[in-house]
Amino acid sequence: MNEMAKGNVEAMVEASRIAAKGLETLGQEMAEYGRKSFEHATATAKTLASVKSPTEFMKLQSDFVRQSFDSFVAEASKTTEMMIKLAGDAAQPISNRVAVAADKVKTVA
């Protein structure tokens, strides 16, 4: 029983380590996306401030909105994929322990 409990604790620690590392990576990705978005918005604002006609202003603004939306959709998709992978990776050590427990139950029964 002690060996089983020790294995369970080790699996939880490993799952926590994987989750923490994955969340750190996810946070870095989100910070990078935020930085790039801010830089793009700043550059666009400077460009919009120097336009000469309402038509040019509307075109630039429309392009900015379209690019921002496309970038957001791509980033949301990427983030979702990363989170799904992280969930699977973090659950793996616990899943392995469940398999070990099931094997022990079969052996005892």
Whether the CB-CB separation of 82 and 25 falls below 8 Å is answered with: yes
Mean pLDDT of 78-104: 93
pLDDT at residue 95 is higher than 70: yes
Q: Where do the structural domains in the chain lie, given as residue ranges?
A: 2-108
Return the ∠ at Cα 50 (arms to 48 and 54), rounded to 5°: 65
More confidently predicted of 100 and 77? 77
Q: What is the pLDDT of residue 87?
A: 95
What's residue 30's pLDDT?
Answer: 96
Write down the pLDDT at residue 60.
95
How many CA atoms lie less than 13 Å away from 80 in the CB half-sphere? 6
Check residue 5 and give its pLDDT: 87
Please return the burial class of 79, using the count of CB atoms within 10 Å of its CB with bins 0-12, 13-18 and 19+: middle
pLDDT(109) > 80: no
CA dihedral 67, 31, 86, 12 (to 10 degrees): -160
pTM (two decimals): 0.76
pLDDT in tens, 14-73: 999 999 999 999 999 999 999 999 999 999 999 999 999 999 999 999 999 999 999 999
